[in-house]
Amino acid sequence: MIPLRDSEPSRKVPLATLFIIFLNVMVFIKQFTLPYDEALNMVYKYAFIPARFANGLTDIRSYIPLFTSMFMHGDIIHIVSNMWSLWLFGDNVEERMGFFKFIVFYILTGLIAGFANFIFDPISNIPTLGASGAIAGVMGAYFIMFPHSRILTLIPIIPFFIRIPAGVFLFLWFISQLRSGIYGIAGGIAWWAHIFGFLSGVFLYRKFLKRRKSYNYYSK
C-alpha cells in the first residue's frame, strides 16, 4: 500500500518538517556527488553499525552514528519514500507539537529506533542508515492523534485507489513490520527499528504536545 495524501488539513506551514526534509536531501546530494571511495568512507563513518557500537559502548563517539545515520539514505527510492511519508504525516503532528518539540520528538524516536536495532542485532556489521525509525515515530503519534483521518492509498498490485482510515492504514503497516521482524522477511531492512520507532511515537507523543487548556486530539 502506498499512501498518497491524507484528509487532515494543516493550518500552518510545517517548517520543522521542511527543515528535516531539507537536511536529508542535502546529505543525500553530498553522499552521491562524492567519489565512490569517499562516499563509501562517509557511509562507514556516519552510518550506524551495531557491532562497532557494541565494541565502543564506553566511548561517546560511538553514539554519534545513532544520530547521523538518521539523515543518510541508500538510494533515490529510499529517500523519496521516506521523505514522502514524513511530509504526509509530519505536518499535522508538528502542528500539535510546535517547531522545536517536533524536532526533539523526531530525533528522540529515531535514537530509540536505532538502539532497538542494536538490541535485536548486536553483532551485525552491516551499516544501517535512513530516517525510517524516526518517521515511524511520527507515524505512531499520527496513529493516536488522527485515527479517523482518511489516507488516499494506492494498491499497486491491482492497481486501484482507496481511502482508508489512518488508524487502519497504520495498524496494518505496523503489523506488516512486526511480522517481517519476527519471521526475518526481506533481510537487510531494520524492521525492529521501525517497530520500536512507531511504539516510541505512540507512547511518547503526549510529552511533546503544545500546552492547551482544551484540545481535541482526534480528527473528525
pLDDT, tens digit (0-9, with 9 covering 90-100), for 53-72: 999 888 888 899 999 999 99
Q: Which of 132, 114, 95, 110 is nearest to 16 (CA)?
A: 95
Order the strands of the 2-6 sheet from edge to edge. Answer: 2-6, 150-155, 160-165
CATH architecture of the domain with range 2-208: Up-down Bundle (1.20)
Dist CA 107 CA 66 (whole Å)? 10
Q: Is the pLDDT of residue 214 over 60?
A: no
pTM higher than the cut 0.85: yes
Retrieve residue 111's grid coordinates.
535514537
CB 91 within 8 A of CB 16: no
CB 218 within 8 A of CB 147: yes
Taking only the tens place, the pLDDT of each residue in 191-208 is 899 999 999 999 999 999
Spell out the domain ranges in the chain: 2-208
% of the chain surpassing 70 pLDDT: 95
